[in-house]
Amino acid sequence: MTNPPQSHTTPESSPSRRRVAITGIGCVTPIGTGVEALWQGLRAERSAVVPATRFDASIYRSQCAAQIDDFDATKWIDAKRVKRLDRFSEFAVVSSILALEDGNLDLANEDRDRVGAMMGTALGGVGYAEEQAARFLHGGLRAVDATLALAVFGGSASCNMAIEFGVSGPNSTNAMSCASGSMAIGEAFRQIRDGYADVMLAGGSEAPLATLCFGAFALIRAMSTRNDDPARASRPFDKHRDGFVMGEGGAVLLLEEWSHAEARGARIYAELSGYGTTNDAHHMTAPRPDGAQAARCMRNALRDASVGVEQIDYINAHGSSTPLNDPTETMAIKQVFGDHAYRVPVSSTKGYYGHALGASGAFEAAISALTISRGWIPPTLNLETPDDGCDLDYVPQHGRELSPKVVLSNSFGFGGINAALVLKKPTA
């Protein structure tokens, strides 16, 4: 086993945990591609949910989605290379390119053994595999794209990012459902904090808008059937919510060791300072009714960040718009924050762009960083009548001017997976 380079702090020799800066944001979302478009989409306070047209949704009870209809990966990636990527990997690579551009980081000046990539996804390339299965049934094996075996597995996200930029540091893609994007960011944070890397590209990517992928969630009645009013279908914490709305996209954060970012004069959106993850160990689709493990996850993230509950100025909630998740998350927040739960503003941004499964946590980590940097917190769109038990300050309908110093971002997923991130306003 080779020793790590002597010019870098190693986990074994580090006298204290290293600080982690968020210096770039790249995203492809239903409300905008690129950080400025994302921000303008948030400030517009409009939902991107529309009738699903990517496939024939008329056969399902749920027929609306948050689609990205103007995405063309060849604007950023060589056309020959795009042919070897499916949509899920395109989102990942393009988001990474945009994050590096936004962070003004030239990897030619970096030790690429100290630069890594970590991503999260719920379904990976399953949507692409579904498309290829149809080709197989109609035309046999010769009709199937030769890249199928290399495109369908979740790891193709972070591996294609590594290939795109020639970075050979820590690399993985987890498949931990709707918490996976947040978990990828959290694990990348640990890689830098503990000295295994100096720079990480981390986030989530999802391309689930395909007939069977969509149908699988329609089958378990997890999605909204407000087909006559798609823009109001995703309504977190509202009494009349009836399920989530499926979305798609990708988002990547550029993370750097603090002194590395300072040395090159990087603009720092926020400091990533805490991460927690737990499992309900209860049910594959239903959250644990008492919210105990979701609460423990938040406490772990706060402890990791050395932050007290009274220091949290804003919570970006998972808020999926499902009947079970929203009141359970509310309960868990109350368990952790006590009386402060009624004073801290909470919002879910899924009313804007639906639920992009593994990419959602990455969207929301990016949004959390922007709230710190730009002094405005987004609303919970479509929240008209709060549900019984959902009695916190959910910032309904319209955003609020606020400059939070510390933000908590929650993500919860099927399988009882819980993840939370803590972000802080940059300080010297």
- The full DSSP string for 127-174 is HHHHHHHHHHHHH-GGGS-TTHHHHSSTTHHHHHHHHHHT--SSEEEE
Residues serving a catalytic function are 178
- The answer to whether the beta carbons of residues 236 and 319 sit under 8 Å apart is yes
Find the angle CA(54)-CA(55)-CA(61) to the nearest 5 degrees.
115
Q: CA angle at residue 407 from 360 to 97, to 5 degrees?
A: 45
End-to-end CA distance of the chain: 37
* Distance between CA atoms of residues 338 and 333, nearest Å: 8
In terms of Cα–Cα distance, which of 232, 214, 230, 235 is closest to 50?
230
> In which element (H, E) is residue 191 found?
helix 180-193
Query: In DSSP terms, which residues pair with 410 in a beta bridge?
Result: 420
The alpha carbon of 333 is separated from its chain's Cα centroid by a whole number of angstroms, namely: 20
Burial class from Cβ neighbours inside 10 Å (0-12, 13-18, 19+) for residue 141 reads: exposed
CB of 271 closer than 8 Å to CB of 22: yes
Per-residue exposure over 43-60, b if at least 16 CB sit within 10 Å of its own CB, e if not: eeeebbbbebebbebeeb
CB 359 within 8 A of CB 122: no
215: three-class secondary structure by DSSP:
helix
